[in-house]
Amino acid sequence: MSAEFFLDTNILVYRYSDQDEQKRVVAANLMESKNAAISVQVLNEFCNTARRKFPENFARIEATLFEIQNLLTVYSLGPKDTHKAVQISQRYGFSYYDSLILAAAENHQCKVVFSEDMQHEMILDSGLKTFNPFAI
């Protein structure tokens, strides 16, 4: 079964940060909805960001990764995602790595990608929509 929506790395970062309580609550609600997915890329980006932003909590990162994997569907990436990401990047001008997130979401039939970094309420030709959950 496919998840309905896909989360960008920044959603996970806000969930585990205490720097913005309002964003943390929104991110937690998205993650705990039981209908969200990420790719292994997002998991890796989260780990990298957490290590840089919260070095004093590095010992907790592995436990947090397990928690994330228990909350969310985690999709692997393959050649199909890579080729689709190139097409998305060329078509819309997104960075390659943002395009890879969009490609993974498309290839797994997600309807929405939640991200603070992508254009709010953009609809791709496939029907996939980008949405900034902090814009409301």
Fold classified for 5-131: Rossmann fold (3.40.50)
Residue extents of the structural domains in the chain: 5-131
CA distance 88 to 131: 17
What is the sign, positive or negative, of the torsion defined by CA atoms of 112, 37, 115, 22?
A: positive
Write out pLDDT tens, residues 81-120: 999 999 999 999 999 999 999 999 999 999 999 999 998 9
Q: What is the pLDDT of residues 35-79, one digit of tens each?
A: 999 999 999 999 999 888 877 677 788 889 999 999 999 999 999
3-class SS of residue 36: strand
- Whether the pTM exceeds 0.75: the reply is yes
68-81 confidence digits (pLDDT tens): 999 999 999 999 99
